[in-house]
Every structure is written in C-alpha cells, then in structure tokens.
Structure 1
Amino acid sequence: MIPRRRLWFPLGIATLLLLFYYSWTAQDQYQWTDLGKPAQGPQEEHQADAVALDDDDYFWRKLPTHYPVQDMKPLPTGRPLALPKIQTTFGKESEYDRATRKERQQTVKKAFVRCWNAYKDNAMMSDELAPISGTTKDVFGGWGATLVDSLDTLWIMGLQEEFEEAVTAAAGIRFESTSLTTVNAFETTIRYLGGFLAAYDLSGDPRLLRKAREVGDMLYKTFDTPNRMPISRWDFDNAAQGGKQVAPEMALVAEVGSLCMEFTRLSLVTGDPKWYDATERIKEVFEEQQNTTQLPGMWPITVNPKDKLFNVDNTFGLGAMSDSTYEYLPKMHALVGGLIPSYQTMYEESMRTALKYNVFRPMVPDAPDILISGTVRVEKEGGKVGFNLEHQGQHLVCFAGGMLAVGGKLFENAEHLEAARKLVDGCIWTYKAMPHGIMPETFVMSPCKSDKECEWDELLWKRAVLRQADLNDLAAVDEADSIISEQRLPKGFTKIPDTRYILRPEAIESVFILYRVTGRTDLLESAWVMFEAIQKHTRTTLANAALSDVTVDSRPPKIDSMESFWMGETLKYFYLIFSEPDLISLDEWVFNTEAHAFKRLLP
C-alpha cells in the first residue's frame, strides 16, 4: 500500500477533494460507512481495492449475456435502523468459570488445528480430506472447499500464520473449469462466495474480495435465463462455452431461496448492484406467492423457477431442502440494517404458520418441555383439507432454534424466544438420549396428546412403535419389545431411519446462538458434553470422521468422510461458544448458513 500512498500525495488538494466527493456519494448510496473493513482504513486504500476489482480479465465476464437485465434494481438506501440487541449483557464470571471456559476453547482449537494440518498435508486444494484413508475427494467443484470454508475459522481462532498461507493458496484457485458434470450453485454460493466474503470482512485482504467477485461473476451466469431465475443444478460446461440456459421446472426451495445473503453482501462491498438485483427478483416471487400456497405463510419443499410457480407442491417443513430459505429471512433483516422491511414480514408470516403446524411436543420420559420440528403434507379429499404432520425430527432442523432466537430478539417476539428455547432443549435432549451422546441424522418420535397432556405412557409409546413398523398397534406388546430391541430405540423414539452422524453443526449452532441470546450457563455445559462425545467417537489418526450408526452399543463405526462444514461450521461454533461474547458479536455480525460471518450494516 505504500507506493499507492506516495502516488496520491503529489496530486494535492484537488485530488483529496475529489476523493471526498466520491466517498460521500458512495456512502450515501451504498452505506460504505457500515460495511466493515473498507470504511475503517484510509480512503485511498478503499479506492485502490475497488479499482483492482474492476477486472475484465475474469473468465466469466468475457462470456456473452443472452438475457441481460433491462431494469437493474438499486441497492437499498437510507441510514440503517437501530435494531434491537440480539446478545444479552453478560455479567462478570468467576476466575474458575473463566479458566474452565478458556481451557475448553483451547481444546476445541487444538482439534481444529489437528484437522487443518491433516488437510493441508494430505488434501490441500482438494475439496475434502478422507480422514481414514488420507485420500482426497472433490465433490464441490474441486476448488478447495475445505480450504475456503476454513478461512474465517482460521482468522477467528487467531491462527494468523496459517490464515496467510491459506489465503495465498486460495488466491490461486481457478474457477474456469471443474471436474464435475453438474455444479450445485447453492452449495457453491454458501461455501465459496460466503467463505471469501467472510474472510474479507474479517481481514480486509483485497485478494479475498477479488476471489469473491470472481466466484460472484461465475454464479451470476446461473441467472442468465429468459426470466432471470437461477439454475440450481448447473450445466457448467454449457455455460462456460457460452450456451443458452433455461431455469429448471423443479428445484428445491432452499437452493433457490438461499442466495440472497451472499449476493447482497457482495453487492454491498463492491457497490455493484447486479447480484442484489438477481436475488431481489427471487424474493419478490416468494413474497407474492407466500400466502397462495397450500399451507399459506410457508413455501413448499419444491418450486418451479422456469414458470415462477413457488406454490404447487404440498409438502412443507423447516428441515432438509427448505431450511435456509427461512433462516435467511431474519438474517437478511439484520444484514441490511432493516432497510428491506419485507424480510421481517415474510419471516413473521412463515413462522406464524410453522409454529402452528410444523412443531410438536414429543412424549418422552420425565416429560421435559421440549419441541421437535416435523414435516407437514397437505392432503385434499372430498372438498376437505387435512394437515398430516410427520413426527420425524432431523439433526439438520436443529438450526431452527437459533433462527427463532435471532428473530425473536430482532422483532421483540417473546413467543419466538420461547419456541427457540424449547427447540434447542429438544436437540440437547436428543443428544443425551442416544447411547453415545450423539444425535442421528433423522428419527421419529411419538407426540404428546397435547402440549398440556404429556405424561409418559409406555404402552402408548409401544403402540406407536408398532404403527411405525406398519403393524396393528393392538398387536402383542412383545412384538413392540422385539422391534425396540432390534432397532435399538431409546424410550420415546419410534424409529430411527438414518442412524448416521456426519459431523453436522446445526445443534451446536443453535446452542451457541441461544447462549449468546440468554447467557444460560447450562448451555455451556451441554456444548462441552456434546463436543467431548463427538470428539471421542469421530477422531481418527488423521482428523475426524462421520459415523454410520450412533445407535449401536459398541463403538460407532466410522465413514471415510469429513465434509468441509466440520471445520467451517461445527468446530467454529464450538470455539465461539467458549469465547468472549464480543468475539463475532451477533449485534455486529450475521452468519450465513455455512457459518460464514458477514458484517452487518449498523447506524
């Protein structure tokens, strides 16, 4: 930066006044003063970075645009609102509590460093390390998914030397080609674009913004369709050769509705509204059709981008295939400082429906006051409409407690905060109920008669087990006992369809968020118990591995898999819950669905 400063100096007062003018106009239009690192450094540094980003050499910019935007939507203007605080005010902790917390934090950090070194030594620049065999996997484009996912974790953990090495490596990733036939645009967005943006927001390193822009230009091509709706499962080679594209007739709602945080943040830090425009068009369709679906207030699991029909399917849930669409509603409100009011409206309407139809209280021993989120199918017959709730929980849907905690604080909604508590406590309970203290991917439970009538009834539980096995629930009890023994069902569970644990982050994510929101010290203890159980059973000679069956009495068998979110999300949240509360404060930062932290617009 020194040569640039020396170049600016001789230009004199006139240039300084010109810079002041551009700074003022950019601040007025794009809220530069609230964008984190760029506004904190000298103005000439910011201008130099912006010039460096204006690079026509990017491969994806050279390709023709078949369906250009005719009416670009401008970025939101105005001063960001002073939103309610999300984090609680933490009191002074005892020396013993502080020492314990710091020791646990360092233990998590050591676990991360061990995995990072294993990845660096065995799989650097590949998407994933296979943690048992030491081989590599390329499942997310072959662009170093674990490397990019880990960038902001390295920074947050204070691993500056490793961070610099990782940034240098990541700056060399080339996004012109891939070994995959089809690229998942959503996964690419949350991992790569989110990873580069977060690392840039934290460090201010212009190399990271350059890579974010490069990935953004690549992903922008998925919107080059006749109606500007995106292609979620993308024919990369066709696009790279300049071929024409059409949005698909069917896509998962999460893969269409979960691009707005990353695209909006990229527009904010660059001042280029094209990415914001792209996802704002999607948001308008969601907004228009929200109350026209078969479960008004929510959107179904599948949608039709080609015809802009987001209201046809009859299956609704907060879990897999839908999750981050709902998660991003309150987070977008926080990200843009409340300057787009429709996100609050969409969130409140969707949660009004979800809390009425999608959550249930399970019947389990000791009757804890917990909730589980299931899936609803709307069935129409003879002019009547029925709502069939499947009482299947998912590890993935544990994110919902954190979402409701954030939304409850931002919108001062006590009902959402209470639901958040019950959902998070439900995930903690499920961890504790399993023989090794680790929740499976999916499970089915028997619901209580009502929220008020929830006493444990062993006979009712066994009848529910029989029904799940497609047997008459009046069959002999010993048949239920046989199923319970054969399937290793803890009390309260009626079936465990997917017994795996794949190093998922959603449970600790919501435990972390609820801790920052409430300050409940028991959540620290729950997090530590979870970490110890996971570390004990997933650790390999190299790193950590997914588990194929967490219900077995013996040691759970391992799978030769370590997805990038283990280092990008799971270990990051375990580290942050034992950190000082001002490290990535939720009042200043907001996480995308891959746990990448973006700087919020603040007044």
Structure 2
Amino acid sequence: MARTRSSSSSTRFRYCNPSYYLKRPKRLALLLIVFVSATFFVWDRQTLVREHEVEVSKLTDELRRLQDMLEELKSKAVPEDPIEIQRREKVKEAMVHAWSSYEKYAWGNDELQPQSKIGVDSFGGLGATLIDALDTLYIMGLDEQFQKAREVVGGLLSAHDLSGDKVFLEKARDIGDRLLPAWDTPTGIPYNVINLAHGNPHNPGWTGGQSILADSGTEQLEFIALSQRTGDPKYQEKVEKVIVALNRTFPADGLLPIYINPDSGTGSYSTITFGAMGDSFYEYLLKAWIQGNKTSSLKLYRDMWETSMKGLQNLIRRSTPSSFSYICEKNGDSLTDKMDELACFAPGMLALGSSGYGPDEAKKILSLAEELAWTCYNFYQSTPTKLAGENYFFNPGQDMSVGTSWNILRPETVESLFYLWRLTGNKTYQEWGWNIFQAFEKNSRIESGYVGLKDVNTGIKDNMMQSFFLAETLKYLYLLFSPPTVIPLNEWVFNTEAHPLRIINRNDANVASSEGQHKPVIKIRSRKTGRLGGK
C-alpha cells in the first residue's frame, strides 16, 4: 500500500520535474509556447490598461479645458441689462393689450376701431391684423395667442420661416397664385388692384391708370422667398422682370417718380419722394441683395440702390437754426422742403446698406443715417404729445413745423432706431425708442386697445388701431430691447411690413405644395403709399 501511494504521488508531481520535459523535447516546446502566450496575454492586457488610462487622462484634460473655456466665456459674457428686460416686458404687455382688444372686439376682421369697440374690414375682410400680428406673437413668445391665430389664418412666409409650419407656406402660395395675373402687362410692371376670386387686375382711377412705384417695387422679397420655399421659379421671375424693366430707363440719379406707366415702363411726370408711394422701392433694392446673401448675381440690385443713394444725398438739406438734416421732395427741377414721417425708414436703410461700401464711404453713409435719425426723433419731440405728425415742413429760421398733424401709430422712426442700435451698439437709440413708446402709452392707449391721434398738437384721438401697429411698431420696439441674437440681421431680412424672412442662398429651396383656403378680394397695397386701401 505504501509503495502504491508513493508511486501515485510521484506520478502526480512528475509535471513539475524539469527532467520530465528535458527527456521529452516536444512537451518542452509545448510548455514554452504556453508560457510565451500567457506572457503576451498579460503584457497586452497591461498595455491596454495603460493606453486606456492615457486616453481617459486626455479626455479628462479636454473636459477640464472645455470647462475652463466655458467659465471664461461666462465671465466675459455681458449680462443682459435689467432695464432692457423690463422695457421689453412693457412692450410685450402692450402687445398683449392690443391683441386681446382685437381678439375681444374685432376677431376675424381686418382692424379694430377701439373707441367704437367694433371690427372693420379695411382690406376686404382678409383678417389683416391676424395675418400682420402672427410673427410678432411668435417672436414675443406669446404661443397661446399664436396658435389661436394660426387656427384662423395661415398667411405669411414670415410665420412659416419662424415656426416651420407648412400651413403658412400653403396659404402664401395660394394667395401668390391669385396675385400673379396683376403682372400680366406689356412690361411686367404690375397693376396695383386685383380681385382674388376673379382676377381682373387694373390700376385705380385716381392714379390716371398709372402704377405706383412703391407698390410695384415692393413684392420682390416676398415672391423671391415664395419661389425659394416652393421650388417654383414663376413668382421670382415675375417680380425680377419689374426690376429689369425699370433698369432699362433708370435715371442717372436713381430717383424715380411715384407714377410708372405699366405699358411703357417709363415714369410719368410726378413727385419724386422717399415718402408715401415712393419709399419702399428703394428699400427693396437693398434688401433683395441682402436676401440673396449679397452674391454677385444680385449686383444689379446693389448697383441700382447705390445709384439711388447718390440721388438721395442730392435731396438732403439742413434746417436753420438747428441744422436738422432732412430729405426734400422733388418735382421736375424744383425741391420742396417737406419730409414725410414715412421717409424715416431711410436712416435704418442707409445704416443697413453702409457695410457694402468701402470704409470712407461707409462712414459717410452711416453719419448721414445718424443725422436723419436725429431729425426723425425730433419729429416726435417737437410736439406737445411727443408723437410725430404725418409730415413736416422746414422753413428758414424755424427748423420744422407739422404739416399734416395726425399720427396713426406708424413705425418708421422706431424701425430706424432698431437698425442703428443693432449696427452701432449705441444705447442712445434705445433711449429715444423708449421715449417714443412712453408717448404712445400716454396718448394712444385706451381700455380697448390703441388709437392714433387726429392732431398731435391737441392730443385728440381717432378711432383706429392700424394692423401695422402690432406688426411693426411694437415688434421693432420689442427687438430694440432684445439681445441681437433675437432675429439676427445676418440670418434674417425684414420686409417693408417688418416680417422677417430667412436669408437663403438662391439655389436653396424648401419644396412644399398644397392648396390653401381662398379669400375673396385684396388690393396690392403697401402701407408705404399712405393710403388706407379698400376693395
């Protein structure tokens, strides 16, 4: 038994005896292979662990670096001015008051008559205030009001660009299709009145059958945008044909009369002005260039605009004794020392276009913009109510005097203050805008909305809350006290009614198709004409 146990024990431990392998070379080789494999396995695991530790260390360092960068950015970031926040909220509250009043007394109508507390259809029953206010509601974050308006009207490209909701694009396309027959003239310069249900475009009798410059040259942004977003070029082709036609006889000073013959494309003997019926044509030459991302293919627009700005500078005069700069009107070879409040869009336009010039000319153009803005601000400050009249005359020795003395809640001066603040960072423009807003609050706000004034000297109120007060005046005031990242000017361009359109390269297009709801009658009308529409 002892021998057997000893033999068993010897057999058990023979694999630990080197002589066992020395006598058997194959088994020695196998042992070496196992040993080397095990060594490599352990070494590889250790290497992987070390490499992993290095990578983790690198990632940790990178995270620390990013955290340090974020902390540095936070430390450098200028906190938003609490006064700006407070003022912005005041303007927002004003919008809520205006909108709630419209909603309560005039829902679905074009505009509200606040004193009568009834709605009126100034534009054929299109729900103009609903359409005009959509993007203002969206920008101000008034989501509940926006959604309610959306359920009633789907109308603007701006609302589509901001919200991405295709219902607005579908409606815009439907209306665009119904407007297209207005451009069926020998020159492509459109008639200014059309029945959306039946077509039948024509010009109003009071123009002598002529087309109005501002109306004919102020559809480019919207129709180009419509082509971009639908992928259908027909809208863009129609409105660009107008610019080509006008360019054929474009005068050396770039200034066109307010009446244009749609058959010949030539200007009739009439007033040249940057006010009513002329203004937004010049604005759109610049903004179409911006809308197209300032590419060389749009050089025609920019060249025409710069030519017109040379003409504008020839219309500049200065008052005595205060040396207010103002833009004259021109009839033939004679100048009239009169400037509309509507022309107060020009300082903002000049500031916006100044960056396209060389340094010296840009400085000159921006300086002129600032001078004109000072004049426009004083249109407000010079009256007892601190609200501007419709137009002003300049006489030697007495600076400015109110001509037409009503105020209908127009936005042009505030619009220019917005652009100048954005482009210069000068808070003076915010202060001026706040003073104007306070004057509206004091003189125009009533329990049932906002009204204009029949006379800025006496403060007697009228009975109309214009749709552009919600679309433009309050929007520009809100943006005046908002960070520049809200609707940044390098990504958006505002049309003449203050609706922001996203800047898209000409080759980009968002395709959408569908039939929208139909509305009966509309006049191709710009509030820049100074007229209040009708069927």
Q: Is 1:443 equivalent to 2:426 in the alignment?
A: no
Alignment counterpart, residue 271 of structure 1, candidates 228, 231, 236: 231
Classify the secondary structure of the residue corresponding to 2:449: coil
Match of 1:64 in 2: none
CA distance in structure 2 between the aligned counterparts of 1:252 and 1:243, rounded to whole angstroms: 18
Classify the secondary structure of the residue corresponding to 2:429: helix
CA distance in structure 1 between the aligned counterparts of 2:402 and 2:201, rounded to whole angstroms: 44
Classify the secondary structure of the residue corresponding to 1:567: helix
Classify the secondary structure of the residue corresponding to 2:151: helix
For structure 2, the residue ranges without an aligned partner over 5 or more in a row are 1-74, 507-535
- Tell me: CA distance 1:241–1:327, structure 2 relative to 1, closer, same or farther (3 Å): closer
CA distance in structure 2 between the aligned counterparts of 1:164 and 1:532, rounded to whole angstroms: 29
Match of 1:542 in 2: 448
CA distance in structure 1 between the aligned counterparts of 2:441 and 2:181, rounded to whole angstroms: 41
Classify the secondary structure of the residue corresponding to 1:376: strand
CA distance in structure 2 between the aligned counterparts of 1:93 and 1:393, rounded to whole angstroms: 42
Whether the 8 Å contact between 1:398 and 1:423 is mirrored in structure 2 is: yes
Whether the 8 Å contact between 1:224 and 1:245 is mirrored in structure 2 is: no
Deviation at 1:93, TM superposition (A): 8.4
Classify the secondary structure of the residue corresponding to 1:590: strand
Q: Is 1:120 equivalent to 2:78 in the alignment?
A: no
Q: Which has the larger radius of gyration?
A: 2
Match of 1:375 in 2: 329
Match of 1:301 in 2: 258
- What amino acid is the match of 2:231? G
CA distance in structure 2 between the aligned counterparts of 1:104 and 1:208, rounded to whole angstroms: 31
Whether the 8 Å contact between 2:492 and 2:500 is mirrored in structure 1 is: yes
Classify the secondary structure of the residue corresponding to 1:316: coil
Match of 1:573 in 2: 476
Name which of structure 1's ranges 539-548 and 387-396 shifts more when overlaid on structure 2.
387-396
Deviation at 1:402, TM superposition (A): 0.5
Whether the 8 Å contact between 2:246 and 2:265 is mirrored in structure 1 is: no
Deviation at 1:602, TM superposition (A): 5.7
CA distance in structure 1 between the aligned counterparts of 2:337 and 2:414, rounded to whole angstroms: 22
Whether the 8 Å contact between 1:249 and 1:307 is mirrored in structure 2 is: no
Deviations 1:261-285 (A, max 9, x none): 1111111111100011101110001
Match of 1:492 in 2: 399
Match of 1:454 in 2: none
Deviation at 1:240, TM superposition (A): 3.6
Whether the 8 Å contact between 1:225 and 1:246 is mirrored in structure 2 is: no
Whether the 8 Å contact between 2:113 and 2:119 is mirrored in structure 1 is: yes
Whether the 8 Å contact between 2:226 and 2:235 is mirrored in structure 1 is: yes
Match of 2:82 in 1: 99
Classify the secondary structure of the residue corresponding to 2:483: coil
Whether the 8 Å contact between 1:232 and 1:251 is mirrored in structure 2 is: yes
Classify the secondary structure of the residue corresponding to 1:328: helix
Q: Is 1:287 equivalent to 2:194 in the alignment?
A: no
What is the identity percentage for the equivalent residue pairs of Structure 1 and Structure 2? 36
Whether the 8 Å contact between 2:185 and 2:262 is mirrored in structure 1 is: no
Deviation at 1:315, TM superposition (A): 2.4
Match of 1:342 in 2: 300
Alignment counterpart, residue 138 of structure 1, candidates 107, 114, 121: 121
CA distance in structure 1 between the aligned counterparts of 2:82 and 2:141, rounded to whole angstroms: 19
- What amino acid is the match of 2:316? V
Classify the secondary structure of the residue corresponding to 1:546: coil
Instruction: Report matched runs for 1:161-560 at 5 Å.
Output: 161-171=144-154, 196-234=156-194, 236=195, 240-241=197-198, 249-291=209-251, 296-310=253-267, 312-339=268-295, 340-356=298-314, 358-364=315-321, 367=322, 370-378=324-332, 387-412=333-358, 413-446=362-395, 461=397, 491-493=398-400, 495-552=401-458, 556-560=459-463
CA distance in structure 2 between the aligned counterparts of 1:270 and 1:126, rounded to whole angstroms: 29
Classify the secondary structure of the residue corresponding to 2:249: helix
Deviation at 1:540, TM superposition (A): 1.1
CA distance in structure 1 between the aligned counterparts of 2:136 and 2:112, rounded to whole angstroms: 17
CA distance in structure 2 between the aligned counterparts of 1:277 and 1:112, rounded to whole angstroms: 37
CA distance in structure 2 between the aligned counterparts of 1:137 and 1:273, rounded to whole angstroms: 36
Deviation at 1:228, TM superposition (A): 3.6
The TM-score with structure 2 as length reference comes to 0.76
Aligned residues: 424
Match of 1:43 in 2: none
- Tell me: CA distance 1:103–1:423, structure 2 relative to 1, closer, same or farther (3 Å): same
Deviation at 1:242, TM superposition (A): 6.1
Whether the 8 Å contact between 2:182 and 2:201 is mirrored in structure 1 is: no
Whether the 8 Å contact between 1:225 and 1:244 is mirrored in structure 2 is: no
- What amino acid is the match of 1:445? F
Name which of structure 1's ranges 559-568 and 97-106 shifts more when overlaid on structure 2.
97-106
Whether the 8 Å contact between 1:197 and 1:266 is mirrored in structure 2 is: yes
- What amino acid is the match of 2:381? K
- What amino acid is the match of 1:168? E
Match of 2:55 in 1: none
Deviation at 1:527, TM superposition (A): 0.8
The TM-score with structure 1 as length reference comes to 0.67
- What amino acid is the match of 2:499? H
CA distance in structure 2 between the aligned counterparts of 1:158 and 1:150, rounded to whole angstroms: 12
